[in-house]
Amino acid sequence: MNPKFWLATMFLMSRIGVLDANSRCHVTESSIGGMYLRGHVFKVHRDELPEECFFLCEEEVTCQSYNVVIGQNICELNNRTKEARPEDFIPDQRRFYMKRSRNRVPLGSIKELPAESCNEIVSSEGEQVADGKYWIYSEENSEVIEASCEESWQKINGEEPVCFGAKDNQYGSFNMTKSGRVKTMKLIHKSGSVRCNNVTISSYWGCTWTPYKDNLMTIITDANKKAILPPAEDLKAFKTPGHFDNKEHFYSLPGYHHNSIELVFRNLVNPLSVSSNQEMQIWYGQDWIDRGEEDNSGKTCVDVYAWYE
Ligand SMILES: *[C@@H]1O[C@H](CO)[C@@H](O)[C@H](O)[C@H]1NC(C)=O
Ligand SMILES: *[C@@H]1O[C@H](CO)[C@@H](O)[C@H](O)[C@H]1NC(C)=O
Ligand SMILES: *[C@@H]1O[C@H](CO)[C@@H](O)[C@H](O)[C@H]1NC(C)=O
């Protein structure tokens, strides 16, 4: 008798044991009948016993799970799990789904298995996934880059922070490194601060002159100076007729103030489509509208993070 066959049979029995009695044997994965993962098949094996699919999956470094077409002896090897792509896990009475239970390589941890985004890695591997470098696609299914992921956030700038001043078009600029749809972004303060006159104290993100209260003035724009985060409709002005500040250039972000270590913007209602080398800018509100900036000073330096859908 083929030892592999016996192992496979034992294996299936242990799984059935889990399904029926859910007690005696502690295996980490069990098959899910009547369901399969759609759209992530990278290899199909025909004329195989369903038990063989287990071993065929283990032979491929990128195999994350597999579908078995019942009664047709077909194994479909997937390069994703249902956790990574819950939207593609759908019913099919002719199939069952099985996650790889041994030696599964975490998504994005090797170049051969790039993830779509940092966010997909968290979906696939769970919230406790370590921060660090992961392989992701910078273009849909083509270029691969090594990205710094912190939870679902991708750090966009490299070692050097991005700095913006408070006057004379001293905006900071950075280039996106991945195409896709950005849900929101955040800035983490690294050093420096800005002032909007020579009397009131400095702020990381805004102006401490009393009328501004806790409103902030750090705006992420595209290369054409169009406000992206916060979006233009969230920006406010003082509406003093004829005064310099009657043009929208500041905003309130509940929970954040002048010296918050990080600024996490709200999710965009319509995620922003970006290309992989697209330039983006960070502006100080008064510098952005070219008004009231004469007595401004200082510079704030930040790390920039994006959350892709
Ligand atoms: C994953 O599978 C899809 C097809 O389902 C394929 O287009 C893609 O290239 C595969 N990726 C890898 C890294 O094998
Ligand atoms: C962004 O990319 C452009 C051209 O691709 C380059 O000239 C510029 O220096 C880049 N900017 C940064 C901040 O890396
Ligand atoms: C402060 O700024 C005003 C202009 O807004 C200027 O007239 C004044 O000389 C400045 N004072 C100092 C100490 O720099």
Q: What digits encode the pLDDT tens for the residues 6-63?
A: 444 444 444 443 443 444 444 567 899 999 999 999 999 998 888 899 999 999 999 9
Mean pLDDT confidence for 114-122: 97
Burial of 151 per CB tally in 10 Å (0-12, 13-18, 19+): middle
The finding on whether 275 has its CB within 6 A of some atom of ligand 2 is no
Closest Cα to atom 5 of ligand 3: 295
- Give the Å distance between the CA of 39 and the centre of ligand 1: 9
The pLDDT value recorded for residue 140 is: 82
Mean pLDDT confidence for 266-289: 96
For residues 147 and 164, give the distance between their C-alpha atoms in angstroms, rounded to a whole number: 24
Going by the DSSP 8-state scheme, the letter that residue 125 receives in this structure is H
- Give the Å distance between the CA of 195 and the centre of ligand 3: 13
Closest Cα to atom 8 of ligand 3: 198
Mean pLDDT confidence for 276-289: 97
The finding on whether 279 has its CB within 6 A of some atom of ligand 2 is yes
Residue 272 has which token pair?
């922003």
The whole-model pTM stands at 0.87
The finding on whether 295 has its CB within 6 A of some atom of ligand 3 is yes
- Give the Å distance between the CA of 293 and the centre of ligand 3: 12
- Give the Å distance between the CA of 92 and the centre of ligand 2: 48
Ligand lying nearest the CA atom of residue 275: 2
- Give the Å distance between the CA of 66 and the centre of ligand 2: 42
The pLDDT value recorded for residue 47 is: 87
Model confidence at 3: pLDDT above 70: no
The pLDDT value recorded for residue 27 is: 52
3-class DSSP state of 12: helix
Model confidence at 124: pLDDT above 80: yes
Model confidence at 194: pLDDT above 90: yes
Q: How far apart are the first and last CA of the chain?
A: 50
The finding on whether 142 has its CB within 6 A of some atom of ligand 1 is no
Mean pLDDT confidence for 227-256: 88
The pLDDT value recorded for residue 24 is: 41
Q: Give pLDDT tens digits for 87-107.
A: 999 999 999 999 999 999 999
**Closest atom, ligand 3, to C-alpha of 198:** 1
Angle between helices 50-58 and 3-21 (to 10 degrees): 110
The pLDDT value recorded for residue 85 is: 97
Q: Give pLDDT tens digits for 159-177.
A: 999 999 999 999 999 999 9
For residue 309, give the nearest of 270, 283, 276, 277 by alpha carbon: 270
**Closest atom, ligand 3, to C-alpha of 199:** 1
Residue 16 phi/psi, 5-degree rounding, is -65, -40
- Give the Å distance between the CA of 236 and the centre of ligand 2: 31
The pLDDT value recorded for residue 19 is: 42
Mean pLDDT over the full length of the chain: 90
**Closest atom, ligand 1, to C-alpha of 62:** 14
The pLDDT value recorded for residue 13 is: 42
The pLDDT value recorded for residue 241 is: 64
Which has more confidence, 28 or 158?
A: 158
